[in-house]
Structure 1
Amino acid sequence: MQQEVVTSVIIGANKMEQLEDNLASVDITFTPDELKRLDEVSQLPPEYPGWMLSWTAKDRQA
């Protein structure tokens, strides 16, 4: 919820305990360093054709 691009949150709880835990999570805040680290460890590798476009552009003028 601290990310600007998040427009909604899916709760996805099947049990009351899960719902309570998920609702309590709105009180958690992260520092900018923690958010940066979370972004780093959760970054997915580029998918095709994204990686192909950057790979073929290596020999082109900037």
Structure 2
Amino acid sequence: MTSVIVGAKRIDQLDDNIAAAQVMLSDDELAELDRVSQLPPEYPGWMLERQGGNRRKQLEAQRC
């Protein structure tokens, strides 16, 4: 989620802020932004992932 705080004091600053709303990013640019802004895993998510690894392997083996 993002938000924009407009703090323009001059008309040219306001024009720049308004123009920024028209910027279109490519899929590659969006993917790169997602990559560099990814938050580190938080507890308990990383713990569940680590502890559940063996069980997932067992379930996958049963499906085959």
**Closer, same or farther: CA 53–22 of 1 in aligned 2, 3 Å:** farther
String of CA shifts for 1:22-54, please: whole Å, max 9, x gaps: 332111111111111111111111111110110
Structure 2, unaligned runs of 5 or more: 60-64
Q: Does 2:4 align with 1:11? A: yes
Moved over 4 A (4+): none
- The counterpart of 1:26, out of the listed 11, 21, 26, is 21
The separation in 1 between residues aligned to 2:4 and 2:15, in whole angstroms, is: 10
What's the RMSD between the two structures over aligned residues? 2.1
Inter-partner Cα distance in structure 2 for 1:32 and 1:56: 34
Distance 1:27 1:38, change over 3 A: same
Structure having the larger proportion of residues in helix: 2
Taking only the aligned residue pairs, the percentage that are identical comes to 44
State which structure, 1 or 2, has the greater radius of gyration over its C-alpha atoms: 2
